[in-house]
Structure 1
Amino acid sequence: MMVYRSLIIDDEILARQAIRTLLQHESAIQVVDEAANGSEAVLKILQHKPDLIFLDIQMPEMDGFEVMKEIWAYHQPIVVFTTAYDQYALRAFEVNAIDYLLKPFNEVRFFQALNRVQERLNQQRPQPHVEALMGQLLRAEVSVPGDAYLRRILVKETGRMCLVNTEDIQYLDADGNYITLHTAHKQHLIYDSLTNLEAKLNPTDFVRIHRSHIINLNYISEIETHFNGEYIVRMTSGQQLKWTRNYRDNIKAFYARTT
């Protein structure tokens, strides 16, 4: 049996306890954590990557919609809004919430929402043969004779997996062991160390410029000198990044492409 991970987000402890109590006999739903405000919610969603979140709307620091805006490029859980205010219902469904529970809700109404959640989760569940095929494709991609570097990176998102071409990655941004792959149209979050991934990328194209950044030289618009031997890199996307002194020697790779 598949077990799905959930996160309860509400600034009221009694509201969190009520949802946890209703879920205690649901063996298919595991509550992995709780959050009491918007900022904490963002951190815990990105940490746990739950399949499902129960999300209050009016909370300290960030409201529920702001939380969704912060996480959506990195992780897209199923969302059940839980709130005492009915005026946000239309907006909730506009951002693809699966249900909107108006407090105080009863047990029947809660399990109606949970049935919708489980139907959606079952639809999104990746089939084992699909996952195996994606793994084979990725292994074949990195084992081509004479090609020692990654050409595609496997990215797992809610209910699906995809392969991102490394040539489409403009730069990589690390926060601990979470790395964001920035392409022209989307951002993808993976779990890896930047040092480990750096060793798998073609150094002809990808250069470390900061302890938290690797850039694709093909997307550099210009480089200008900065203070103390550092540089400011402007990407074709308009993003500006600092090329720090610790990685100054790597700029030779850029000069090699322009000569």
Structure 2
Amino acid sequence: MRVLIVDDEPLARMRLAALLGECEGAELAGSVGDGEAALAALGELQPDLLLLDINMPGLDGMTLAARLAGRVRPQVVFCTAYENHALHAFELEAVDYLLKPVRLERLREALQRARKRLAEAPRAATVWLHARVRDEQVRVALDEVVCLLAEEKYVCVRHAGGELLIDESLRQLEEAYPEQLIRLHRNCLVPPARLIGLKNLSDGRVLARLAGTDFSPEVSRRNLPALRKLLRMG
């Protein structure tokens, strides 16, 4: 089972990594310091489980868990110094809630619960977008997509590994994957999990902040209320 540690304290990340090394069947997929970095790493690292702190700058653990609720992967185990968030954690379908300092025995119990949940849940089929590069047919998983931009007759797919051009229109993609894509503008779609915030400019324009990229596409006034609601709901 691949595990991603998400904690803003370097010493806490090191300790969890050391404990994972003593847990059979657990593989450290990576270690990051905040929720935004975790979102950006999901497509590339494909973790089965997050060991997730709650109080972090920027995108905190509860907000990140709310974004991931309902997905088979990754599952979430909270690792925190605070007892008062436990009820909310389980409402967000967390596997377990571990208090710091995390004990090895409790970590092993949490990993076993995560394995059981993963084994019992059907794995969602990967959605692929297909493109042609020169004479070669290539594909990219929708989970790895950062955004989709309309460019003349094609759609540019910005993803973790670069860019591709595909023939489908934004409208076709939006209709095909209504749960996996949201519209920012008439020329832009993004996966909901990539949206981490909105930035208001002095000229009245609003830009979207996306996990995994410095690119900030503009948000249309028509779509702004729905995006604000999505962010409020986590």
Q: How high is the TM-score relative to the length of structure 2?
A: 0.56
Per the alignment, do residues 217 and 175 of structure 1 end up closer, same or farther by CA in structure 2, a change over 3 Å counting?
closer
Q: 2:37 aligns with which of 35, 40, 46?
A: 40
CA contact (8 A) 2:78 2:89 kept: yes
Match of 1:67 in 2: 64
Contact 1:46 1:75 in 2 (8 A): no
List per-residue Cα deviations over 1:77-99 (Å, max 9, x = no partner).
11000000111100000010000
- Between Structure 1 and Structure 2, which shows a larger proportion of helix residues? 1
Q: Which has the higher contact order (CA 8 A, sep 6+)?
A: 2
Q: Partner of 1:175: helix, strand, or coil?
A: strand
**Cα distance in structure 2, aligned partners of 1:6 and 1:217:** 31
Does the 8 Å CA contact 1:177/1:194 hold for their aligned counterparts? no
The structure 1 residue matched to 2:8, chosen from 3, 7, 11, is 11
1:82 aligns with 2:38: no
Q: CA contact under 8 A between 2:76 and 2:94: conserved in structure 1?
A: yes
Contact 1:49 1:75 in 2 (8 A): no
Alignment counterpart, residue 216 of structure 1, candidates 156, 172, 191: 172
Structure 1 residue 240: Cα displacement: 3.2
* Mapping for residues 147-226 of structure 1, pairs under 5 Å: 174-177=157-160, 194-195=164-165, 198-199=166-167, 206-207=168-169, 214-216=170-172
Superposition deviation, residue 51 in structure 1 = 0.6
> What amino acid is the match of 1:14?
L
Q: Which of 15, 18, 24 pairs up with 1:21?
A: 18
One-letter amino acid matched to 2:57? P
1:92–1:100 contact (8 Å) kept in structure 2: yes
Counterparts of 1:23 and 1:87 in 2: how far apart (Å)? 25
Describe how 1:96-175 pairs up with structure 2 within 5 A. Answer: 96-124=93-121, 174-175=157-158
Q: Distance in 2 between matches of 1:29 and 1:81?
A: 16
Identity value in percent: 31
Equivalences, count: 162
Structure 2: stretches of 5+ with no match in the other structure = 128-138, 144-154, 176-181, 189-234
Amino acid at match of 1:26: C
Asked if structure 2 preserves the Cα contact closer than 8 Å seen for 1:46 and 1:71, the reply is no
Match in the other structure for 1:95: 92
Q: How far apart are the structure 2 equivalents of 1:154 and 1:175?
A: 10
What's the counterpart of residue 56 of structure 1?
A: 53
Aligned mates of 1:218, 1:45 — CA distance in 2:
22
For residues 110 and 30 of structure 1, do their structure 2 counterparts lie closer, same or farther at Cα, with a shift above 3 Å needed? same
Q: What is the identity, as a one-letter code, of the residue corresponding to 1:242?
A: N
The one-letter code sitting in structure 1 at the alignment partner of 2:63 is: E
Matches within 5 A, 1:219-238: none
Shift of 1:216: 2.4
Larger Rg: 1
| Residue deviations 1:94-125 (CA, integer Å, cap 9, x gap) | 01000000112322222221221222233247
Residue number in structure 2 paired with 1:145:
none
Give the aligned residue type for 2:84: Q
Distance 1:31 1:42 in 2: 16
Q: 1:112 to 1:33 in 2, by over 3 A?
A: same
Provide runs of 4+ in structure 1 moved above 6 Å. Answer: 153-157
Residue 156 to residue 125, structure 1, CA distance change in 2 (3 Å): farther
